[in-house]
Structure 1
Amino acid sequence: MTDTAEHDELSGRLRRTETLHEHSSIPGRDIVQVRTEIPEGVASGWHTHPGEEVGYIVEGRVRMEVRDRPACELAAGDGFLIPPGTPHNALDLGPGTGVMLSTYLVDPAEALSTVLG
C-alpha cells in the first residue's frame, strides 16, 4: 500500500492510502483503489476526479454532497457512485473516524483528485 500524500491535493485533510493501481482493459483508463480515513467533523472539500468513483463506506457515517443531487447520509455498508468530473464533498459525521474504500476508473495522465476553489 502507498500513501497518496505526494500525489493528491486532498492529503492535507484526509489520510488516503492507495491499495491498488493497475491498467484497465478500458483503453486510456487505470483502476485505482484508495482507502480514505476522514477524521470526525472534517470535510474532504469540494473536488473532482477524472473518472468514475465507485465507493463503499467501511466505518462511520458520512454526509455526501454531489452537485445537482440532494445531500445524503451514508453509513457503514452503503455504496455510492460519483460520475467523472462531478464536484462532490464528504463530511464525516462521527463519532470517530470514517473510513471509505473507493475504486476509480481514471485517466492516468491526470491527477487523481482536483480540489475546487
Structure 2
Amino acid sequence: MINRRLLLRTSGAAAAGALGTAALSVPAGATESGGHTDPTSGVTRTLLQEHPSPAKGWKAVQTLVQIPRHKESGRHSHPGIEVGYIIRGDVLMEFDDRPPLRLRTGDPFFIPTGAIHNARNVGRVTTMMLSTYTVDETKPLVTTY
C-alpha cells in the first residue's frame, strides 16, 4: 500500500523516483562530508497530494517542506512553478539571478519555472513551508546543483 504522506529527501532522484511508488524515509541526522556538517541534512519534503493537471503533460504536487534551524534546502530548481506559504519560521530565499527575498511566518512566495534557488532557515525554529508545484510530469520534481 502506498503511503500518501510520503517523506522525501530534497533530491531530484528521490523526488522523481519515489513519487507514487513506495514510502521512503531518510534519517534526519547530520552527515559528515570532508569534516563539515552537510547544510541540507534533516531537510524533508512530505508529499501531501499529487494530481494530474488539466493541461496535458503537467501535474500538481503539494508538499510540506521542513528545514531545521541553521540548515538550507540546497541550490535547486523545479520543472514548473512553485507557489508557497511560510507556515512557520524565517527563510532567506536566495536566487542565482536576483536579490534574496526575506520571508517570515505568514508570507506567500512564488518561484518561476527553472529558477535556481535555495531556502536558508535564518530563524530560531524549524521552518515549515507549504509548497504547491505545477510541473512537467516527465521530469524530476527537484533538480539539485
Decide: shared fold, TM above 0.5: yes
Q: What is the aligned-residue RMSD (CA, Å)?
A: 1.7
Q: Does 1:8 align with 2:25?
A: no
Number of the residue aligned with 2:34: none
1:109 to partner: Cα distance: 1.2
Number of the residue aligned with 1:87: 116
Give 5+ residue unaligned stretches, structure 1: none
Number of the residue aligned with 2:70: 41
2: distance between equivalents of 1:24 and 1:66? 27
Number of the residue aligned with 2:144: 115
**Across the two proteins, how many residue pairs are aligned to each other?**
115
2: distance between equivalents of 1:15 and 1:41? 14
Identity %: 41
Residue 85 of structure 2: SS of its match in structure 1? strand
TM-score scaled to structure 1, two decimals?
0.91
Q: Which has the higher strand share?
A: 1
Q: Output the amino acid matched with 1:19.
A: L
Give 5+ residue unaligned stretches, structure 2: 17-25, 27-39
2: distance between equivalents of 1:76 and 1:94? 10
Residue 96 of structure 1: SS of its match in structure 2? coil
